[in-house]
Amino acid sequence: MRIREDMRCWCLVLLASYLAAVKAEVQWPGGTYGLPMPDTGCPSDGATDWKNGWTYHDTEDDNNENQRSNIFHMPGNFSAHGIQQKFCLKVGNNDNTGSEIWPEGKYCLYKKGVCPSGLKEGFIRWDDEQSEIDYKDKHFGDLPDGVYEKSHTTINYCCSTKGNVNNPIQLPALKPFYLLTYDSAQCQKVAGTKVTSEFIKFDDDDQGNTDAAGGSHPYGPSEDPFNLKIYYCYYEPGQESEDDLGTGKQVRSKIPTGKASSSGLAVAIGCGVAGAIVGTASIAFATKRILAHRARAAYDILDDPQPDGP
């Protein structure tokens, strides 16, 4: 009886340690910040509670030149009249126990509260159109730190300015997500993802334009100081090609990809053997149920995209 109880305790401790490690791998870093929203919705990892909101920019009426990349994965209204930006804001830790330190690289996030450790602050200011012809500037829900007026929009950012964009960093890769570029239009590599470079060009007010950018901010405003251009990086689960990595090696994500990991299988087998040795199948059965539940939770249905229109 004593051996049986010891084996049960050992197995449960081992299983709990494995599940805790898996959970930690797929979590977003702690702290408060924001990301651009993809058309699949905010990138839930099962522990992070995202809030969302949007802002609408009234753009130039005369000979409007709003532009976006041919490949584009953002929801929201985009037309010659105006452009809507949608946001995913992490405003608290909730069940998230991830480190608040972001990996070194070159990328930007939206600022919400204090910038995460090691990231530098900056801003971009849009001089939006001020006529009565189209919808005026509007905003709704949870927004990045900034200033949201009827004729101007200022959004604050937190940027990682160190590291090499070709050295893949580790972030959750279960669902699509965005980062913003820093220092160039080149996207930071993220292990276990395929990345697509995208952009939006805002045709801002032509009369007395006061567009501005300062501090550490996403790349793009310097290309046209009167019509702001912002570069975005869209990441989706997948395998980078050797050509894209710039390192000559494939990078395999540490994030689960839908198949049982070798460590998880080892736990299941070990616990099953332990159960057989002590004459009970309950441990193996419980192990199988817990691992199956974990796999389902990691691949829940994607968030519905938010409706278009301000």
How high is the pLDDT of residue 226? 86
Phi, psi torsion values for 233, nearest 5 degrees = -120, 120
Categorize the per-residue pLDDT at 26 as very low, low, confident or very high, splitting at 50, 70 and 90: low
Of 27-36, 113-122, 270-279, least confident by mean pLDDT is: 270-279
The angle subtended at Cα 253 by Cα 248 and Cα 255, nearest 5°, is 175
Report pLDDT digits (tens) over 160-210. 999 999 999 999 988 999 999 999 999 999 999 999 999 999 998 888 889
Percent of all residues in the chain with a pLDDT value above 70, rounded to a whole number: 66
The residue that leads in pLDDT, 277 or 56, is 56
How high is the pLDDT of residue 22? 42
Categorize the per-residue pLDDT at 262 as very low, low, confident or very high, splitting at 50, 70 and 90: very low
Neighbours of 162 (CB within 10 A): 11
Neighbours of 4 (CB within 10 A): 15
Report pLDDT digits (tens) over 232-251. 999 999 876 444 433 333 33
Report pLDDT digits (tens) over 102-142. 999 999 999 999 999 999 999 999 998 877 666 788 999 99
Percent of all residues in the chain with a pLDDT value above 90, rounded to a whole number: 50
Q: What is the mean pLDDT of residues 137-159?
A: 94
Tokens of 242: 């050797």
Task: Answer whether residue 225 shows pLDDT above 90.
Answer: no
The angle subtended at Cα 306 by Cα 304 and Cα 309, nearest 5°, is 155
Categorize the per-residue pLDDT at 98 as very low, low, confident or very high, splitting at 50, 70 and 90: low
HSE-CB for 1 with a 13 A CA cutoff: 0
| Relative orientation angle of helices 262-277 and 282-298, to the nearest 10 degrees | 160
How high is the pLDDT of residue 45? 78
How high is the pLDDT of residue 135? 74
Task: Answer whether residue 83 shows pLDDT above 70.
Answer: yes
Note every long-range contact of 222-228, with CB atoms under 8 Å and residues 24 or more positions apart, other chains counting.
227/65, 227/201, 227/202, 227/203, 228/124, 228/126, 228/201, 228/202, 228/204
Categorize the per-residue pLDDT at 93 as very low, low, confident or very high, splitting at 50, 70 and 90: low
pTM of model > 0.85: no
Q: What is the mean pLDDT of residues 60-74?
A: 92
